[in-house]
Chains A and B, each alone.
Chain A
Amino acid sequence: DIQMTQSPSSLSASVGDRVTITCRASQSISSYLNWYQQKPGKAPKLLIYTASSLQSGVPSRFSGSGSGTDFTLTISSLQPEDFATYYCQQSSSAPYSFGQGTKLEIK
C-alpha cells in the first residue's frame, strides 16, 4: 500500500502570507494526488485534484503542483477562512490513502 506523508504537521501563519504544504508518496503516483480542506466539525472539501486542477468554486489563491512522489499545495495569500486542516490523498491505487494532515493556525 502507498503511504502519504505531509509536512509540516502544523503551521502558524498570518493573513496575507504565502503558505506551502508538502506531501510525499512512498512510491510514484504520477499526478494522482488530491488536496482537501477540513474545518472543525465539518466534512472535508475537495480543493485540488490530479495534483494541479482546481475544483470548481475553489478560489484561485489555492494551487497545487508536483508529480511522481513530491507534491505541494500553495495558498498565495492567506485569508481568515483558510485556517483549517489540509489533507493530501493519493488516487493512484487502492486503498486511496490520505496524509496525516497539516493544521494551519493563525499566528
Chain B
Amino acid sequence: DVQLVESGGGLVQPGGSLRLSCAASGFTFSSYWMTWVRQAPGKGLEWVANIKQDGSEKSYVDSVKGRFTISRDNAKNSLYLQMNSLRAEDTAVYYCTRGKPGIAAAVDWGQGTLLTVSS
C-alpha cells in the first residue's frame, strides 16, 4: 500500500524557518511527481509546490516563491519543504501528495502535518 507520512510541523515564530519531511513507501518514489498542498484552519485547499521525478523541475504558488524550497531525495524516498521567512498566513496543515502519472492530480495523500506560525 502507498504510504505518505509527513513530519516536522510545529509552532514557529513569524520570520522563522522550518523543514517539513514526507517519508514515502509502497511505490517507486523516483517515478512520480510529488506535490505539497496546504489547508489553513477552516479554509480550502491551496496548491503549494511540486517537483519532478528527478528534481529538475519545480513550481511554486506565488505566495511562497522565494521563501519555500521543495526538494527530494530519491535514495531516501523522501520529499521535503524548506520554509523560511514564515508568516502567520502560512499556518496550515501541509499535505504531501503523489501525482497520478501524466496528470497533475493528487492520487495519494498523507495525513498532514500542522504548522502554526505565531508569536
Contacts and interface: CB of A to CB of B under 8 A. Distances in A.
Contacts, number: 62
Interface in B11-55: 35, 37, 44-47, 50
A43 B110 contact: yes
Nearest to B100: A49
A95 B103 contact: no
Contact of B109 (A43, A49, A87, A94): A43
A90 to B, nearest CB: 9
Interface of A is mostly: loop
Nearest to A50: B103
A83 interface: no
B2 interface: no
Contact of A89 (B61, B105, B111): B105
A28 B45 CA distance: 21
Interface of B: 35, 37, 44-47, 50, 59-62, 95, 100, 103-107, 109-112
